Chain A
Amino acid sequence: MEKKFFTISVYSENNVGLLNRISGIFLKRHINIEGLNVSKSEIKNISKFTIVVFTTEDWTRKIVAQIEKQIEVIKAFYHTDEEIIYQESALFKIASHLLFDERQIQNIIKESNSQIVTVSRDFFILAKTGRRHEIDEMHDELEPYGIMQFVRSGRIAVTKAAMPITALLNEYENNN
């Protein structure tokens, strides 16, 4: 079965230790987590994990089943890249003099649709949001000039189709 990127969305209670439990499921199967983001979700007091893996659909399905089995997990889904809208963010720290000495830097900023977050005497910070390959391209273009620091976030994603979490929670409330 073909390996590709899958995005796993996990809706859960916001409890200490759950990240350890979820990451252990990947560890057990020797699968690397390519990207991880944890944030609040659209539902009050419910957290959302967005996890990116590069593996087969069969493995992904089995992992999702194991994740869903965890007591604090409300529901987990997996999606291909075509089924979601997704982005990552990155910050670039670059020496300030380059902004004035290297004209090409200004072109890169303009063409990449990145924003200058702050400028100080010694450095300025660029923020870029987009797909991973767009951030990679920008990184490659800036690298020859010298990047003082670089960091990229985990993927965040929303699905094109609805995720029926609220209905699930309502069903639970009605049954109890």
Chain B
Amino acid sequence: MDTMTKKKTTHKNPKKLRVSGAEAIIHCLLAEGVDLIYGYPGGAIMPVYDELYKFQDKLTHILTRHEQGATHAAQGYARVSGKVGVAMATSGPGATNLVTGLADAQIDSTPMVCITGQVPRHLLGSDAFQETDIIGISTPVTKWNYQITTAEEIPGIMAKAFFIAKSGRPGPVLIDITKNAQFDELDFHYEACTGVRSYQPTPVVKAEALEMAADLINNAKKPYIVFGQGVILGEAEKELKAFVEKSGIPAAWTILGLSAMNTDHPLNVGMVGMHGNYGPNVLTNECDVLIAIGMRFDDRVTGNLESYAKQAKIIHMEIDPAEINKNVQVDVALLGNAKETLKKLLPKIKKNSHETWHNEFKLKYEEEFKTVIENDLHPKKEGLTMGEVVEEINKASKNKAVIVTDVGQHQMVACRYAKFDQSKSNITSGGLGTMGFALPAAIGAKMGAEEREVVAIIGDGGYQMTIQELATIYQNKTAVKIVVLNNDHLGMVRQWQELFFESRYASTVMTNPDFVKIAEGYHIKAQRVSERKNLKAAVEEMIAAKEPYFLEVKVEKEDNVFPMIPSGASVSDIRLK
């Protein structure tokens, strides 16, 4: 079994070629620079798979063990590499299994193209074997979708699909292709798509809005930046850093903005949101100018909108016009790509330091440190905490790992404590909150950045939702490191039950299998840690491993994640305990 390696062969666009629709699909993928796709074969997509077999020297196909795994792997690949992730499945159940990944990619703005096979055109609508209306089903969870029923449509639609997936605010596109279109022949000619007349992906920031924003920022006494994934997607990390450093404005991240700026940067003050840091949440309601960069005022960030930053003038840098005034009324909208907007804004900003204001964040941090952080990272109690495991991973990986998290307590703890010194390092399901995301996403992340250490941090609940992807890891020798933080509960739901449902743990206690044996069954080296004295060495051994490695850490069963903004409460009402 060979280690999976991406094919480096360059593909020459065939100028004029008589090919089958299935072969045309491969040529389109190659012309778009795709060298790796994830998927699962089946009847309605078999002609394309047959072509993949013939083109395997140019295009690697990774067989996941479930179509959902294919989408999350494609997402992980896209998020780390900045390229479009590609997933493929057959019709019917194959196609419907893609839906969770599509919905996840849609809400987290991940560029992805999914290709599904479909019954032949003459059988459409006849309830044929493995027929589903995947166009109808996927419409609300895709940026765009299209059903190809003739071979001639393939090059134009595929080009449009890639253009739409990656431009403006990125998102998932689904192309459904009937079997007759895969068999039929066409004269192939490919031209990359550069524009669609009804689609203006990147608005140009208006000069007067820039002036208004600069004026507000230069006259602010307590300005505050909250940055999101728009910075990463817009490749505006350098511009953000320059803006923060020149203006001296404290900056906080949303869960998907994490890693856009070094976590250790002195002006990086922490995370906003339900389990974010104390200062960044409370001081949202004390700043006089709030500068939102590439974020969408998600309800997990704002808490109760009635009391969110009401005292502040709000500047919103955003590429998607539909996000302006959707949740929060803004005073200045800077519509455009974050990189271009920040570049144009920077010369208009006066140098400042805002030391007194910044000290308020420091004081709040000290309070949080004493009450929460110290106990999470250096606990005195016997049981292991999730925080100390994340801290050991930081140390062993020297803050250089890509951290892929699933959904739940471990996700919040990882996003609070993981340290990053480069962008595109935090891969998590932010908007949809998809349990089962991390294991396949980590596979994609590792394949998207083979030179980087990729550590998946997963809860015992989410792990078992896509645990079958251990076979994908084994088959491809994908050197991901898997850490399951096992508290034998669906931890986050249990926390809510404890706090808001009088500790009635309805269906959140989990009797788990022997995870180490399961990993070993998939021929993956595995270890379990349940005592603090063994944690450091185990994490170091895992990071040092050149092959995939599984580490189970038995953590405290009933630990809670704090701070916490109770659902529907104000950011000012964040609880430290």
Interface on A for B, CB 8 Å cutoff?
A: 12-13, 16-17, 20-21, 24, 28, 61-62, 65-66, 68-69, 71-74, 169, 172-173, 175-176
Given known contacts A24-B140, A172-B197, what 5 new A-B pairs fall within 8 Å (CB)? A17-B135, A62-B322, A69-B321, A71-B164, A176-B194
Q: How many whole Å from B194's CB to the nearest CB in chain A? A: 7
Q: Which residue of B has the minimal Cβ distance to A173?
A: B197
Instruction: Tell me whether B143 and A169 are in contact (CB under 8 A).
Output: no
B198 beta carbon closer than 8 Å to chain A: yes
CA of A13 to CA of B198, assembled, Å: 7
Give min CB distance, B440 to chain A, whole Å: 27
| The residue from A12, A13, A69 contacting B322, defined by CB atoms under 8 A apart | A69
Which secondary structure dominates chain A's binding surface?
helix
B93 within 8 A of A: no
Q: Check A28 against B140 for contact (C-beta < 8 Å).
A: yes
Give every chain B residue within 8 A of A68 (Cβ-Cβ).
Answer: 321-322
B145 within 8 A of A: yes
Interface centre among A28, A69, A74 (most CB of B within 10 A): A69
Question: Is A17 within 8 A of B139, CB to CB?
Answer: yes
Instruction: Indicate whether B144 reaches chain A with its CB closer than 8 angstroms.
Output: yes
Say yes or no: A176 contacts B195, CB within 8 Å: yes
Q: B116 to chain A: closest CB distance in Å?
A: 15
B196's partner among A12, A16, A17, A71 (CB-CB below 8 A) is A71
Q: Give Cα distance in the complex from A70 to B139, angstroms.
A: 11
**Is B187 an interface position by the 8 A CB rule?**
no
Given A17-B145, A20-B139 in contact, is the A69-B320 Cβ separation under 8 Å? yes
Cross-chain contact of B139 among A12, A24, A173 (Cβ < 8 A):
A24
Mask, B130-146, CB within 8 Å of A = 1, is 00000110011001111
In contact, A71 and B199 (Cβ under 8 angstroms): yes
B362 at the A/B interface (Cβ < 8 Å)?
no
Asked if A65 and B196 sit within 8 Å, CB to CB, the answer is: no
B197 touches A176 (CB 8 A): yes
Q: List 22 A-B contacts (CB under 8 A).
A: A13-B198, A16-B147, A17-B135, A17-B145, A17-B147, A20-B139, A24-B139, A28-B140, A65-B321, A65-B326, A66-B322, A68-B321, A69-B320, A71-B143, A71-B196, A71-B199, A72-B198, A172-B195, A172-B197, A173-B197, A175-B195, A176-B195
Nearest-neighbour CB distance to chain A for B111, whole angstroms, equals 14
What residues of chain B lie closer than 8 Å to A21, measured between beta carbons? Answer: 139
Cross-chain contact A74 with B198 (CB below 8 angstroms): yes
Closest chain B residue to A75 by CB distance?
B198
With the chains together, A87 CA to B195 CA distance in Å?
37
Nearest chain B residue, comparing its CB with the CB of A62: B326
Contacts of B196 in A (CB 8 A): 71
Q: Which residues of B contact A74 (CB under 8 A)?
A: 197-198
Report yes or no: A71 in contact with B144, Cβ–Cβ below 8 A: yes
For residue B198, which residues in chain A have a CB less than 8 angstroms away from its CB? 12-13, 71-74
A121 to B197, CA, bound (A): 53
Q: How large is the interface on B (under 10, 10 to 19, 20 to 34, 35 or more residues)?
A: 20 to 34
Q: Which residues of B contact A28 (CB under 8 A)?
A: 140
Q: How far is the CA of A61 from the CA of B200 in the complex (A)?
A: 19
Chain B residue nearest in CB terms to A172: B197
Complex alpha-carbon distance, A16 and B133, angstroms: 13
| A87 vs chain B, min Cβ distance (A) | 28
Q: Cα distance A74–B145 when bound, in Å?
A: 17
User: Within 8 Å CB of B200, what residues of A?
Assistant: 172
Shortest CB distance A116–B (Å): 40
Q: How far apart are the CA atoms of A73 and B194 in the complex, in Å?
A: 17
Chain B min CB distance to A176 (Å): 5
State the CA gap A28–B103 with chains docked (Å).
14
Which B residues lie within 8 Å of A12 (CB)?
A: 198
Minimum distance in angstroms from B118 CB to a CB of chain A: 14
Chain A residue nearest in CB terms to B199: A71
Which chain A residues lie closer than 8 Å to B147 at the CB level? 16-17
For A66, what are the chain B residues with a Cβ–Cβ distance below 8 Å? 322
Q: Count chain B CB atoms within 10 A of each CB in A13, A21, A66, A169 and give the residue with the most.
A: A21
Bitwise, B502-524 to A at CB < 8 A (1) or not (0) is: 00000000000000000000000
Bound together, the chains give a CA A24 to CA B141 distance in angstroms of 10
Q: Give the Cβ gap from B22 to chain A, nearest Cβ, in Å.
A: 23
Nearest A-chain residue to B201, judged by Cβ: A71
Which 3 pairs between the two chains have the least Cβ-Cβ distance? Answer: A65-B322, A74-B198, A71-B144
Which residues B236-267 have CB closer than 8 A to chain A? none
Between B200, B321, B322, the greatest number of chain A beta carbons within 10 A of the residue's beta carbon is seen for B322
- What is the bound-complex CA distance between A61 and B197, given in angstroms? 23
Q: In the complex, A68→B203 CA distance in Å?
A: 13
Give min CB distance, A1 to chain B, whole Å.
13
Within the complex, the shortest CB–CB distance from A63 to chain B, in Å, comes to 10
A13→B199 CA distance, assembly (Å): 11
Complex alpha-carbon distance, A24 and B135, angstroms: 13
Chain B 350-377, CB-CB to A under 8 Å as 1, else 0, gives 0000000000000000000000000000
User: How distant is the Cα of A90 from the Cα of B144 in the complex, in angstroms?
Assistant: 36
B7 shortest CB reach to chain A, Å:
31
Give the distance to chain A from B166, nearest Cβ to Cβ, in Å.
Answer: 13
Q: Which residues of A contact B325 (CB under 8 A)?
A: 61-62
Q: Which residues of A contact B136 (CB under 8 A)?
A: 20
Contacts of B197 in A (CB 8 A): 13, 74, 169, 172-173, 176
Residues 159-174 (chain B) with a chain A CB within 8 angstroms: 164
Q: Which residue of A lies closest to B327 (CB)?
A: A62
- Distance of B341 from chain A, by nearest CB (Å): 19
Of chain A, the residue at the smallest CB distance from B173 is A71
Q: Among B140, B194, B195, find the residue whose CB has the most chain A CB atoms closer than 10 A.
A: B140
Given the complex of chains A and B, what is the CA–CA distance between A13 and B322 in angstroms? 20
**Bound Cα distance from A172 to B136, whole angstroms:** 30
Residues in B neighbouring A62, C-beta threshold 8 A: 322, 325-326
List, in ascending order, chain B residues with CB within 8 A of A72's CB: 198-199
Bound Cα distance A48, B228 (Å): 36
